[in-house]
Amino acid sequence: MGKRIIQQRRGKGSPTYRAPPYKFKPSLEYKDQSGRVVNIVNDKMRNSPLAEVEYSDRSRGYLIAPEGIRVGDSIKNIVLPLSQVTEGMQISAIETYPNSGPKLCRTPGSFATMVSSGKKECIIQLPSKKKKKLNPNSRVMVGIPAGEGRREKPFVKAGKKWIVMHARGKLYPRTSGVAMNVVDHPFGGGYTGLGKHKTVSRHAPPGKKVGSISPRRTGKKK
């Protein structure tokens, strides 16, 4: 009888595949108030830094820090509804509907482009070149999230890479399936390749769901 593969163990939710708890759990949301940036903080669960904002009612919240923002800046001209964004402008941290909180384009360096604005709907173009219609009252952040190029810096040490992966509940180092024994993985035991087709049915048991699961098509393209 074989062993449980990584997909099965991850689904069980053991400590190896569980992100450790953190006391700092900021909630990203927009408020209908003016505010100013009081600090730039780091979040271990994100690649982009966060801007700590103090609002007019003395409450504090967090927003994704765009490029060029500094302590003391006002967010009045940074957070705007889609109806006030001009065409061709780069936007990020986009709400999918009013008061939903920032959902789209939150990673460093990613942004959407404003295509057209109307009274009933606004059209934006996402980084995938797909166009999306949104409510004009949905709020966005003007600019690009800071932290672009963070992943270009090499880790140099394997221990540093382990710390980053462990902080997000990822397994590291990762062994390929063909390098494993037969009891550890369906692709294991082969010296020259997989030894079998990697196309797997969607209705296969969890122990066999490796490779191309339920592909749209198989065979050579004509």
Cis amide bond preceding 173, omega within 30: yes
The domains spanning 35-149 and 152-213 adopt the same CATH topology: no
Q: How far is CA 7 from CA 18, 35, 89, 159, in A?
A: 13, 45, 42, 24
The whole-angstrom separation of Cα 24 and Cα 11 is 25
Q: How far is CA 207 from CA 13, 188, 199, 201, 216, in A?
A: 16, 13, 14, 12, 21
- pLDDT value at residue 1: 60
Q: pTM for this structure?
A: 0.72
Residues 100-144 have pLDDT tens digits of 989 999 999 999 999 998 888 999 999 999 999 999 999 999 999
Percentage of the chain lying above the pLDDT 90 cut: 36
Radius of gyration of the chain from its Cα atoms, rounded to whole angstroms: 23
Arch. (CATH architecture) of 152-213: Irregular (4.10)
pLDDT exceeds cutoff 90 at 95:
yes
Domain residue limits, the chain: 35-149, 152-213
pLDDT bin (cut points 50, 70, 90) of residue 44 is confident
Query: Token pair 């810096």 is at which residue?
Result: 153
Task: Write down the CATH number for the domain with range 35-149.
Answer: 2.30.30.30
